Amino acid sequence: MKFGVVVFPGSNCDRDMQDALQNDLNQEVIMLWHKEKDLSMFTTDDCIVLPGGFSYGDYLRTGAVARFSPIMQSVIEFANKGGKVLGVCNGFQILCEAHLLPGALLRNANQQFICKNVHIKGVGADKALKIPIAHGEGRYFADEATLDKLEKNNQVIYRYCNESGEITQLSNPNGAIRNIAGICNEGRNVFGMMPHPERATNDSLGNTDGRIVLESLIIGANAVANQKAALVNF
Listed in sequence order, the DSSP H helices in the chain are 14-19, 70-80, 90-97, 144-152, 209-233
Is the separation of the CB atoms in 158 and 194 below 8 Å?
Answer: no
Question: Per-residue pLDDT for 231 more than 90?
Answer: no
Which carries the bigger pLDDT value, residue 39 or residue 61?
Answer: 39
Across residues 193-215, what is the average pLDDT? 96
C-alpha distances (whole Å) from 21 to each of 4, 33, 109 are 10, 18, 32
pLDDT for 220 equals 62
Specify the amino acid at residue 215: E
List pLDDT tens digits, range 122-169. Answer: 987 889 999 999 999 999 999 999 999 999 999 999 999 999 999 999
- Look up residue 23 and give its DSSP letter: I
- What is the pLDDT at residue 222? 52
Separation CA 132–CA 67 (nearest Å): 25
Q: Per-residue pLDDT for 221 more than 90?
A: no
Q: Which residues contact 204 (CB under 8 A, 6 or more apart)?
A: none
- Per-residue confidence (pLDDT) for residue 126, from 0 to 100: 83
For the segment 106-115, the average pLDDT, to the nearest whole number, is 96
Instruction: Evaluate if residue 227 carries a pLDDT over 90.
Output: no
pLDDT at 34 over 90: yes
What is the distance between the alpha carbons of residues 188 and 82, in angstroms, rounded to a whole number? 9
For the whole model, what pTM was predicted? 0.92
Q: What pLDDT was estimated at residue 10?
A: 92
Domains of the chain, with CATH numbers?
Answer: 2-233 (3.40.50.880)
| Averaged pLDDT of the chain | 92
Dist. CA 219–CA 225, nearest whole Å: 10
Active site residues: 89, 196, 198
From the list 154, 171, 6, the residue with the least C-alpha distance to 73 is 6
Q: Are 193 and 92 in contact (CB under 8 A)?
A: yes
Q: Of the candidates 93, 73, 107, which has an alpha carbon nearest to the alpha carbon of residue 176?
A: 107
pLDDT of residue 62: 85
Task: Name the amino acid, one letter, at 104.
Answer: A
Measured in degrees and rounded to the nearest 5, phi and psi for residue 179 equal 60, 25
Q: What is the mean pLDDT of residues 189-217?
A: 95
73-102 per-position pLDDT tens digit: 999 999 999 999 999 999 999 999 999 999
Residue 54 predicted with pLDDT over 50: yes
Averaged over 37-61, what is the pLDDT?
A: 92
> What average pLDDT does the segment 111-125 reach?
94
C-alpha of 118 from chain center = 16
